[in-house]
């Protein structure tokens, strides 16, 4: 493993190593300016990273951790600017460098990987070429050499078949593979510091572990310093040795990771560290009394669905569901767990008749959903509501918050206009949103608030069944916990039934009465939550339970 | 393959529909080719009726349509009453001239608009952006007719360019290079007028889709990897911005035949424009229908070409599994 470094940077390296830390941030203050009003995103923070060290930055979303990272690389958005402070890297003041000098540092000496590799890679370029581009930008080698080097970088991030990945476009790769391509890009020129901004937040658990393991390994083998940004103490515990905790733009706690996590001095830190619910605690609980009723609300029998080959192209057909049968008792919460591609969402779509199944029957409150005429089903559809993962995309940004909530009433023409608005405002308050925010756009809410808005919208038609398709995924853990509490309250108050779909067993364990595990279109295990956690039987379930990122 | 078959079938159905509607509307409009004759007191009503009958205009609509279809099958596309000749060769000669004009104009317009749009988007609200934005606004606000007339006035005053037609009187005696030069000189003004009309719209589209592409997170990531500004613009943002532009290109191919009608009439370019204008004014039924059919074929082919190009340009469409 030899990284090509220029002679100049070698000497800079040795000099800096002798003189002090690799990166030295002093009294950094960053402001965002919008409509002539400045908001302070980062205020007066100082920290060091030594060569080869792994520093974690922890905090809720909006605490300024990403802004700090972007400031180091000099790629802040146009609306943001460094107000005061200095950033020294290997003895050079990065803030005083011109754009072209700074460009040479980016990607070669300091590089970065981002939260969502899916949108951080160019969709129209081959994965390998995107790695080659980085090498080309910093070395001036011929394209042929760059491509060859890119191929070997891909092999370094553990691709078995690097040549195939090289030729693939990002949409042909899984999330974990995309993130590894992004890491290969970041490593392409042998950087001394790698900034990882929530590198695993959008990945499923097994893949999270893989990526974290890879980062750890790279640090040990190549001596690259890491700056890992995360809201998740479990992630940081795996890779970081020291951690700083940020709240509203300032550093509230700093120290060795064991000390900070085991004896947090700050209440905010404590809330971040303890928010992850321990599965064991749930497992040890007595099984909840099951609210059994004579007739289950939803009954699925022998459901199968194959996504056929497209009409005019030779494509694979995918067996999304194979002979799936399940029951959801009224008033209960059933968690449907499985990796992406396990057929969970297809099942939800079949329940809503958004996809016609090939075979099988679905009963809702005793009535056959699939054979029912369209008009009759329209009435049923009000009783089944779906909440999506990404509420920023699922909610119309041109609507105001109150319109988002009242739109279902408008469509169904229930009540007078003023009544609908009043009802929407009432619902907003029930889900913990202030009525004063009614006229904001959904995009002006934070992720958690927006998901509350989505819940309020789903509740307007007073459904019996709420399908939550990865509804908590992508939110910060503390926010996830808050929404989970809200769901619990709503269930008690309105006698709702939940079908919770996720790849993540962690959070739902608190709320779910029963867990159904799916794998490749089949149900491989179903059991009460406590029982399933205590003794998972199917190897796949064991993997899911075992894959938790433990502190 | 099946997809292409479907598209071809769709196209044939579309053509049949368009031809039927055109027939219907032309029949519903009052008057026909011999309407003017009827006003002439020296021509008797019987003569006019006989003329109409000999031209087949007294037949019922279905019968006329059937006869027209037969003529289409023969490759004639009906009969021009004004020119006293089959429509197809007449149209084809004119369409070729129009295609020469609009083809060159479209190509030039894109070649100008792409760099201008990219430069405009590269530094939003920078000097280049403001200049280009001002220029396009001015051109957009100028009616094409005024532009053409202005150019014509220029040609007459200076004598640099011929002020109409497609070839000089003495063209038959010229050698091939001289012929080409002659046509190019004649085409310069109408092409300029057409380019002036097309460029501002294209520049705005290129700029808008470049701006959107530059907003993408992938661009921010590439910037953080130290990719040079030039590569960011041309290697990353431009391919990402290509999709709507390719669709627009397909549409602009579709309007190749109809786009220059006005300019052709004003600059007396012997294309479809003057022919269609005369045909409509004199109610030369089959010429109008033929011209409409030609345009429809182009719309269909332009869209197909756009789709095919999109397929070639965007790997997300090409490699969808």
Q: Tell whether the model's pLDDT for residue A10 goes beyond 60.
A: no
Mean pLDDT of chain B: 85
Highest mean pLDDT among A107-116, A313-322, B49-58: A107-116
A534, A283 contact by CB (below 8 A): yes
pLDDT at B125 over 80: yes
pLDDT for A310: 52
Mutation choice for B interface testing from A137, A183, A189 by most B CBs within 10 A? A137
B114, B206 contact by CB (below 8 A): yes
- Give the per-residue pLDDT at A11: 44
Confidence (pLDDT) at A280:
40
Which chain A residue has the Cα nearest residue B3? A312
Instruction: Give the per-residue pLDDT at A269.
Output: 86
What is the Cβ-side half-sphere exposure of residue A59, based on CA atoms within 13 angstroms? 24
Average pLDDT over residues B162-178: 77
CB A550 within 8 A of CB A543: no
Rounded Cα distance between A309 and A268, Å, is 52
- Residues A36-50: what's their mean pLDDT? 86
Helix (H) or strand (E) holding A530, with range, is helix A529-534
pLDDT classification of A283: cutoffs 50, 70, 90? very low
Note the pLDDT of residue A413: 76
Answer yes or no: are the C-beta atoms of A313 and A480 closer than 8 Å. Answer: no
Give A525's pLDDT tier (boundaries 50, 70, 90). confident
Q: In terms of DSSP H, where are the helices of B216-314?
A: 217-224, 229-231, 238-254, 261-266, 272-281, 285-313
According to the model, what pLDDT value does residue A546 have? 65
The per-residue pLDDT for A110 is: 93
What pLDDT shows up at residue A285?
45
- Residue contact A311–B224, C-beta within 8 A: no
**pLDDT in the model for residue A15:** 46
Contact at CB, B240 and A311, closer than 8 angstroms: no
CB of B125 within 8 Å of a chain A CB? The answer is no
Using 50, 70 and 90 to split pLDDT, how confident is the model at A330?
Answer: confident
pLDDT at position B108, please? 93
pLDDT tens-digit map of B84-115: 888 888 888 888 888 888 889 999 999 999 99
Whether residue A120 and residue B321 make contact (CB cut-off 8 A), yes or no, is: no
Q: Is the ipTM of this complex over 0.95?
A: no
Pairwise CB contact (< 8 Å): A133 & B227: yes
- Kindly list the residues from chain B whose CB atom is less than 8 angstroms away from the CB atom of residue A121: 218, 221
Q: Compare CB distances from B319 to A172, A182, A311 and report the shortest one's residue.
A: A172
Q: Which residues in chain B have Cβ-Cβ distances shorter than 8 Å to A66?
A: none
Interchain CB distance below 8 Å, A138 and B226: yes
Q: Is the pLDDT of residue A487 over 80?
A: yes
What pLDDT sits at residue A38?
77
pLDDT digit string, tens, across residues B249-294: 888 877 777 778 888 888 888 888 888 888 888 888 888 888 888 8
A317-326 pLDDT, tens digit each: 677 888 888 8
Count residue pairs from A and B with Cβ separation < 8 A: 96
What pTM, to 2 d.p., does this model score? 0.67
Distance, in Å, from the CA atom of B275 to the CA atom of B85, rounded to the nearest integer, reads 14
Q: Is A352 exposed, middle or buried (0-12, 13-18, 19+ CB in 10 A)?
A: middle
Per-residue pLDDT, B8: 81
Contact between residue A185 and residue A129 where contact means Cβ atoms under 8 Å apart: no
Could you tell me which residue, A279 or B24, shows the higher pLDDT?
A: B24
Tell me whether residues A124 and B314 touch, CB distance under 8 A: yes
Q: What is the mean pLDDT of residues A423-438?
A: 86
Q: Would you tell me which residues 4-43 of chain B have a C-beta closer than 8 angstroms to some C-beta of chain A? A: 6
A30, β-bridge pairs: A42, A82
Confidence of residue A551 (pLDDT cuts 50, 70, 90): very low
Chosen from B217, B224, B227, B243 to mutate, greatest number of chain A CBs within 10 A = B224
Neighbour tally for B152: CB within 10 Å: 19
Q: Which of B126, B219, B226, B319 to mutate to test the interface with A (most CBs of A within 10 A)?
A: B226
Region A490-499: mean pLDDT is: 86
Question: Which pLDDT score, from 0 to 100, does residue A275 have?
Answer: 55
Task: Tell me what pLDDT residue A471 has.
Answer: 83
Least confident segment among A177-191, A250-264, A479-493, B185-199: A479-493
């Amino acid at each position: 493993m030899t990284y090509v470094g220029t002679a100049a940077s070698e000497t800079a390296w040795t000099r800096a190593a002798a003189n002090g830390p690799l990166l030295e941030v002093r009294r950094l203050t960053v402001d965002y300016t919008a409509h002539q009003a400045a908001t302070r995103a980062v205020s007066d923070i100082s920290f060091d990273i030594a060569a080869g060290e792994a520093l974690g930055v922890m905090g809720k979303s909006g605490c300024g951790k990403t802004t700090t990272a972007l400031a180091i690389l000099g790629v802040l958005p146009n609306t943001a600017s460094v107000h005061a402070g200095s950033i020294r890297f290997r003895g050079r003041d990065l803030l005083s460098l011109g754009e072209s000098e700074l460009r040479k540092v980016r990607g070669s000496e300091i590089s970065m990987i981002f939260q969502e590799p899916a949108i951080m890679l160019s969709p129209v370029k081959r994965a390998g070429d995107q790695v080659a581009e980085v090498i080309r930008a910093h070395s001036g080698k011929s394209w042929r050499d760059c491509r060859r080097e890119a191929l070997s970088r891909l092999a370094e991030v553990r691709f078995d078949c690097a040549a195939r990945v090289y030729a693939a476009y990002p949409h042909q790769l899984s999330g974990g593979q995309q993130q590894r391509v992004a890491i290969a890009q970041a490593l392409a020129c042998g950087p001394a510091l790698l900034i990882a901004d929530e590198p695993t937040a959008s990945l499923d658990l097994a893949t999270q572990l893989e990526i974290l393991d890879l980062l750890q390994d790279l640090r040990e083998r190549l001596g690259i310093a890491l700056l890992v940004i995360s809201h998740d103490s479990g992630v940081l515990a795996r890779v970081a040795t020291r951690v700083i905790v940020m709240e509203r733009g300032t550093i509230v706690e700093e120290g060795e990771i064991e000390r900070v996590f085991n004896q947090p001095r700050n209440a905010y830190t404590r809330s971040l560290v303890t928010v992850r619910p321990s599965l064991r605690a749930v497992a040890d609980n007595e099984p909840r009394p099951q609210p059994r009723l004579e007739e289950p609300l939803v009954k699925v029998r022998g459901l199968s669905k194959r996504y056929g080959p497209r009409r005019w192209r030779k494509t694979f057909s995918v067996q999304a569901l194979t002979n799936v049968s399940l029951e959801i008792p009224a008033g209960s919460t059933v968690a449907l767990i499985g990796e992406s591609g396990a057929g969970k969402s297809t099942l939800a779509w079949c329940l809503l008749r958004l996809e016609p199944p090939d075979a099988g029957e679905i009963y809702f409150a005793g009535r056959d959903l699939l054979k029912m005429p369209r008009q009759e089903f329209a009435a049923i559809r009000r009783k089944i509501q779906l909440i999506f993962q990404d509420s920023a995309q699922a909610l119309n940004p041109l609507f105001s918050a109150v319109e988002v909530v009242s739109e279902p009433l408008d469509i169904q023409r229930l009540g007078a206009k003023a009544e609908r608005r009043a009802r929407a405002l009432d619902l907003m308050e029930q889900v913990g949103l202030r009525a004063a925010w009614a006229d904001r756009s959904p995009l002006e809410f934070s992720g958690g608030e927006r998901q509350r808005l989505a819940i309020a919208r789903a509740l307007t038609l007073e459904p019996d069944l709420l399908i939550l398709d990865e509804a908590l995924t992508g939110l910060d853990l503390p926010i996830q916990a808050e929404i989970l509490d809200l769901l619990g309250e709503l269930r008690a108050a309105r006698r709702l039934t939940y079908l919770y779909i996720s790849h993540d067993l962690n959070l739902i364990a608190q709320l779910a009465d029963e867990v159904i595990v799916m794998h490749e279109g089949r149900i491989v295990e179903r059991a009460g939550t406590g029982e399933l956690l205590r003794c998972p039987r199917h190897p796949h379930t064991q993997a899911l339970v075992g894959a938790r990122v433990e502190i | 393959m099946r997809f292409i078959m479907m598209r071809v079938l769709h196209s044939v159905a579309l053509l049949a529909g368009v031809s039927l509607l055109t027939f219907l509307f032309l029949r519903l409009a009052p008057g026909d080719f011999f309407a003017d004759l009827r006003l002439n007191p020296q021509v008797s009503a019987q003569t006019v009726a006989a003329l109409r009958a000999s031209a087949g205009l007294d037949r019922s609509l279905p019968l006329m349509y059937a006869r027209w279809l037969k003529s289409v099958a023969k490759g004639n596309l009906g009969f021009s009453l004004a020119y006293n000749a089959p429509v197809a060769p007449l149209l084809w000669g004119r369409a070729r001239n129009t295609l020469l004009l609009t083809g060159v104009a479209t190509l030039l317009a894109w070649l100008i608009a792409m760099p201008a749009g990219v430069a405009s988007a590269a530094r939003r609200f920078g000097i280049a952006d403001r200049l280009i934005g001002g220029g396009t606004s001015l051109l957009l606000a100028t009616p094409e007719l005024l532009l053409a007339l202005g150019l014509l006035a220029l040609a007459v005053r200076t004598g640099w360019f011929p002020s109409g037609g497609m070839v000089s009187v003495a063209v038959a005696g010229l050698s091939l290079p001289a012929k080409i030069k002659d046509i190019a000189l004649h085409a310069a003004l109408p092409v300029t007028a057409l380019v002036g009309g097309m460029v501002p719209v294209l520049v705005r589209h290129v700029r808008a889709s470049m701006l959107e592409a530059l907003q993408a997170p992938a661009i921010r990531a590439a910037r953080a990897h130290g990719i040079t500004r030039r590569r960011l613009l041309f290697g990353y943002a431009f391919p990402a911005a290509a999709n709507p532009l390719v669709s627009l290109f397909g549409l602009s191919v579709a309007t190749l035949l109809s786009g220059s009608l006005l300019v052709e009439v004003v600059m007396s370019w012997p294309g479809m424009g003057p022919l269609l204008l005369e045909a409509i004014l004199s109610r030369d039924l089959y010429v109008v229908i033929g011209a409409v059919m030609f345009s429809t074929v182009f719309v269909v082919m332009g869209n197909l070409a756009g789709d095919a190009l999109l397929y070639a340009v965007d790997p997300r469409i090409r490699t969808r599994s």
